[in-house]
Structure 1
């Protein structure tokens, strides 16, 4: 479309603005009638507007072009659109808009306008100690709530760095900090993060029965104490591929009663353990927008080793490999399809319960089984979604909120139908858990409300394979 219009412009001798098919892209042109048809564009000056905090080199790192580049007309709009997506995926901006001015003799200037996010978040926290909000709503218990203070400084120093402090008292206590530096070298390919913390809890999940977590609580003392330190390195040579290496030291102490209740909890006679964890991750990310993808694909491979028999009270070594693949397709006429496949295999001579995570944790669950956990050494879960954009993205200014960081919001609504399936293989904890070693499935309908600050509010009605219906709420994209 862009190539056809620009090729004909010289014969018309007109000027104006092309509203690109890509969101946030405008292309202005001025051509005299005697010019020959344009075949390529030379990138001239690139200017930024609205980045009051973000440093220019952080922005430049996400652009697929540089001043002086020569780009074919057929690729010009695509490169601008992909650069805009890269900038939005940094989670530094609520809005990014490109305006390209094309001049005679194939020259061009590009202006990029930003609405930055709010970066400093000091606020009190109320933490519900459940796997997800649905399990707490199924059995509300305000005793299982902790209160604290959370401080996060996103885009610290304008360099996309992140500084976090977490102070939490009450039921489960946490005192932790982390500092992330995405770019250490001038080529902006190497990054690192450090974190450390002290955590202790008066309640602990020590086993699962009937696929429900069973907890032991001591109101007078802490039943788990964890001291940890972590160092993470990243290598991002290009835009879409990132390598991670993570080193972590854990020093854990549990109440003796926990081991009496479940001898397989640690698979050790020692209630005080220390061990190292080493993890490698490789991510290939070609999604258009990370918070709510509609096109592209994503793959994450994780290889993890817990324990190296270094300490006299080390854990029994546990090795695991996990992979997550997701594909997103735009079908046309506001219809979209997505599918995701998560798999995991783990190997150990003795499997400790506290490190076993099957289905029901984080993103690894079959919809319709939000109230359950299926602990296992190996699992696979397939999720599929067909959605329709009933309300395309709109921008609204909230007159009662000053400024643009919160006062200017975008939102969209999608309705969707979905089918999930999953299977676990467990040879250790299956006897008391009927959902182990069988196929699980769920299907239903849902509504997604997508808005700024990467927020997705989902409401889903699901019926699982065992005929149990449920209404569930989530705050992340379904796949």
Structure 2
């Protein structure tokens, strides 16, 4: 009896399995056409697709896969416009295979820029606008080439002059294998600085300045290796070597500036980071999420100073309706060290860890956490404008523009074991709120105008220019 049932069960299973297959429509990716990539190599675009030539795919998932591929290509930041469509020789007839041709059309950006960057020697644009001083301006003069050789590599060389002096050289996204899974970044810089953020006073960075002395002279060399096992996953390891000298005036103002009384230092920094990016658009995401975790270790040449940090960044984006969307960003950091040093205690208000409404302030500490939820309303859907006065510059005369209104509530906390009585924002829950407008346009430019309030009973308009986080 058992022997008779076994063939019957196998037959029933096979019929159910094959009927499930035959009830669906499948297609072969017979060809992938790319249009408009005059400089960008095909392989750079093909790497970003969730399918390849010869794949057999479910026709029901084709549209979502093409949308995912479009988002991946757009997130390369090489094109102003990306379109993905398909041509099939059969409609979705059950049990039959279609031959599918994928058509990708891209509008390449301008990739060669003279580098005439202007750096305001302040923490952000709002801080500089509050007390504008053209003597606190540093100019970078050189050139920056994106998409070098059509391989999505970036090369930068610049001479730095003005308030600070020096040079920098960077070459990034160097592929060292055919599949594009292994990459290198190289950088070298030399800096002579007349200003040093020596300490914090009244919860604001105090910048020690000198018109006659370079308060800090530094060389820095860094090598970054990136392993990209998947389209959305990256592992990075950075080895950085610094040779620095500070003037005695820095230690005279803060003996604990960098952990000891030496004026010269050679230091090594090792950083490991992992990033998983599922955002639809890195410039201004509407749905998806972003996860980044980083481990950092720092020591000087005789290993008398040891510092370690782990920090994370989690971003979530969701759409409520066609015009309304939500976003939330959680950032946190934990650190440990064997000696007290001001440069190791920079928490809220430095780099990209900030609270809207506290742009003029910092909250120093060894550990920190911030949460920034935002609700956004699309005031003006994406509109394309043809700028006739730039008709002689085809890479710039077609502009897309989207406008969002937003409101937000930011909270943050930093723990400082060695808190100075002159600084009161550490070891305290910080809250701010406000509303604003974001203008999103081409070349990854987003202009933000925020009117914010904080628990210090202060309010004001803050202007910022945001670049996408990779």
TM-score (norm 1): 0.89
Give how far 1:355 is off: 3.3
- How far apart are the structure 1 equivalents of 2:255 and 2:99? 73
Hey, what does 1:25 align to over in structure 2? none
* Ranges in structure 1 where 5+ consecutive residues have no aligned partner: 1-35
Which of 68, 74, 83 aligns to 2:60? It is 74
Whether the aligned pair in 2 keeps the contact of 1:278 and 1:304 (CA below 8 Å) is yes
Superposition pairs for residues 387-406 of structure 1, below 5 Å? 387-402=376-391, 403-406=393-396
Whether the aligned pair in 2 keeps the contact of 1:430 and 1:436 (CA below 8 Å) is no
Give how far 1:138 is off: 1.1
Give how far 1:261 is off: 1.1
SS of 1:237's equivalent?
A: strand
- How far apart are the structure 2 equivalents of 1:145 and 1:408? 32
- How far apart are the structure 2 equivalents of 1:218 and 1:388? 47
Whether the aligned pair in 1 keeps the contact of 2:344 and 2:366 (CA below 8 Å) is no
Hey, what does 1:50 align to over in structure 2? 36
SS of 2:61's equivalent?
A: helix
- How far apart are the structure 2 equivalents of 1:416 and 1:218? 41
Q: Deviations over 1:362-384 (max 9, x none)?
A: 22111110001111111000000
* Ranges in structure 2 where 5+ consecutive residues have no aligned partner: 1-21, 91-96
Whether the aligned pair in 2 keeps the contact of 1:241 and 1:284 (CA below 8 Å) is yes
Return closer, same or farther for 1:174/1:356 CA change in 2, 3 Å cut-off.
farther
Whether the aligned pair in 2 keeps the contact of 1:102 and 1:108 (CA below 8 Å) is yes
Which of 407, 410, 415 aligns to 2:405? It is 415
Hey, what does 1:444 align to over in structure 2? 434
Whether the aligned pair in 2 keeps the contact of 1:115 and 1:404 (CA below 8 Å) is no
SS of 1:236's equivalent?
A: strand
Superposition pairs for residues 13-28 of structure 1, below 5 Å? none
- How far apart are the structure 1 equivalents of 2:456 and 2:224? 42
Q: Deviations over 1:449-471 (max 9, x none)?
A: 00011110010111112211111
Give how far 1:194 is off: 0.8
Which is further off, 141-150 or 376-385? 141-150
Give how far 1:478 is off: 10
Structure 1 ranges of 4+ moved more than 4 A = none
Hey, what does 1:161 align to over in structure 2? 153
Residue 348 (structure 1) aligned with residue 337 (structure 2): yes
- How far apart are the structure 2 equivalents of 1:40 and 1:393? 34
Whether the aligned pair in 2 keeps the contact of 1:274 and 1:315 (CA below 8 Å) is no
- How far apart are the structure 2 equivalents of 1:260 and 1:137? 30
Hey, what does 2:448 align to over in structure 1? 458
Hey, what does 2:165 align to over in structure 1? 173
Hey, what does 2:417 align to over in structure 1? 427
Which is further off, 319-328 or 122-131? 122-131
Aligned-CA RMSD value: 1.6
Which of 458, 465, 469 aligns to 1:475? It is 465
Give how far 1:235 is off: 0.3
Hey, what does 2:124 align to over in structure 1? 132
- How far apart are the structure 1 equivalents of 2:162 and 2:423? 32
Superposition pairs for residues 216-295 of structure 1, below 5 Å? 216-295=208-287
Q: Deviations over 1:232-275 (max 9, x none)?
A: 00000111110000000001100011111111102212111111
Q: Deviations over 1:57-99 (max 9, x none)?
A: 1111101111111111211000000000000000011111122
Which of 89, 95, 113 aligns to 1:103? It is 89
- How far apart are the structure 1 equivalents of 2:407 and 2:41? 42
- How far apart are the structure 2 equivalents of 1:305 and 1:275? 11
- How far apart are the structure 2 equivalents of 1:441 and 1:405? 43
Whether the aligned pair in 2 keeps the contact of 1:388 and 1:415 (CA below 8 Å) is yes
Return closer, same or farther for 1:38/1:399 CA change in 2, 3 Å cut-off.
farther
Return closer, same or farther for 1:459/1:315 CA change in 2, 3 Å cut-off.
farther
- How far apart are the structure 2 equivalents of 1:374 and 1:165? 34
Q: Deviations over 1:419-460 (max 9, x none)?
A: 000001001243220111101111111100000111100101
Which is further off, 237-246 or 103-112? 103-112
SS of 1:362's equivalent?
A: coil
- How far apart are the structure 1 equivalents of 2:376 and 2:467? 12
SS of 1:136's equivalent?
A: helix
Which of 46, 60, 67 aligns to 1:60? It is 46
